[in-house]
Amino acid sequence: EVRLVESGGGLVQPGGPLRLSCAASGFAFSSYWMSWVRQAPGKGLEWVANIKEDGSEKYYVESVKGRFTISRDNAKNSLYLQMDSLRAEDTAVYYCARGSAAAYWGQGTLVTVSS
Amino acid sequence: DIQMTQSPSSLSASVGDRVTITCRASQGIRNDLGWYQQKPGKAPKRLIYVASSLQSGVPSRFSGSGSGTEFTLTISSLQPEDFATYYCLQHNSYPYTFGQGTKLEMK
């Protein structure tokens, strides 16, 4: 069974950093692109970033470029999202998903950016 | 960026109804489109991939069609558990983009 478990969310002040993690199990993690998708409270889904199987290619939505970094550790079956210079508009539930086409999703972790 | 225009934004229907939701892409995306169902407080679940392939375990009352710029999700006979919000996602070119969602409510 594919399982994705996000962690690391919480309350952070504007301008601060936060690192999200996603622990994967039930599939060959190193064989799949992985993605982050977010959903602001009461809003729709927004694709944030994805990363190739070996980490050699990374893509981001314009609004997070230069502030967020997606990475992975295939030895640990883990996906990460380092978020710096956080803004109020980054407040959202962040989901990790398997594949660039988001076939399977974790349960999400809430990030709240507020002073 | 490719814009995905989803319609309608909300829809009232009854159990047993046939329902169709549409996504239009601002430029051609071949069949690089998926459909997702989200219930309140839950993660999205993929129903359809590459526009018309049914995800394993998804009931056959769900179907997808289309290619290029126009895509549809059809639920042939609504069941009580189908009342949810539905999204399309294009994964043809970066940045990937979702439709704004269709909230399917019980009439």
Residue in chain B nearest A106 by alpha carbon: B43
Mean pLDDT of B54-83: 97
A8-56 pLDDT tens trace: 999 999 999 999 999 999 999 999 999 999 999 999 999 999 999 999 9
| A interface test, pick of B4, B7, B55, B94 with most A CB neighbours within 10 Å | B94
A78-103 pLDDT tens trace: 999 999 999 999 999 999 999 989 99
Q: What is the DSSP letter of A77?
A: T
**Cβ neighbourhood burial of A5 (10 Å; 0-12, 13-18, 19+):** middle
Local confidence band at B9 (pLDDT 50, 70, 90 cut-offs):
very high
SS3 A89: helix
Nearest to B25 by CA among B68, B66, B69, B71: B69
Q: Which residues of A touch B7 (CB under 8 A)?
A: none
